[in-house]
Amino acid sequence: MEFRDTQAIYLQIGDYLCEQILLDRWKESDRILSVRELGVELQVNPNTVMRTYDFLQSTDIIFNKRGVGYFVAEQAKSKIIAYRRKLFLEQELPQIFKNMDILGMSFEELRSKYNEYSNTSH
């Protein structure tokens, strides 16, 4: 996994895990990799993975069965989508609007590009 300098590594790992859930690689109640296993797979310190798991647990996306491991929580997908939508609307969209304004782009140009993307990605 290639990490970006613009976001904390534990959050990037959280994004990766959430993506796995959204893509149905892990479903509700599925056991996910242990802290150690994920640390080895991603070549990061287990403490960083533990911070990710603590964060995802605090947002009710995963839960811990003591002595057994971490599991995908019920309604994890809907919680991830709600969380990501909130971040997009509050953080990314204002930056997109600012860039559109600076570049003199219209919503019609954006719609056209979105339609192209939508037609090729499905």
d(CA 40, CA 82): 30
pLDDT at 1 (0 to 100): 84
- Say if residue 122's pLDDT is above 70: no
pLDDT at 11 (0 to 100): 96
Residue-wise pLDDT tens digits, 47-63: 999 999 999 999 999 99
What tokens does 54 get? 């603590």
Q: Tell which residue, 78, 66, 73, has the closest CA to residue 29.
A: 73
Residue-wise pLDDT tens digits, 18-42: 999 999 999 999 999 999 999 999 9
Query: Could you tell me which residues come within 8 angstroms of residue 65 by beta carbon, excluding any fewer than 6 positions away?
Result: 71
- Say if residue 121's pLDDT is above 80: no
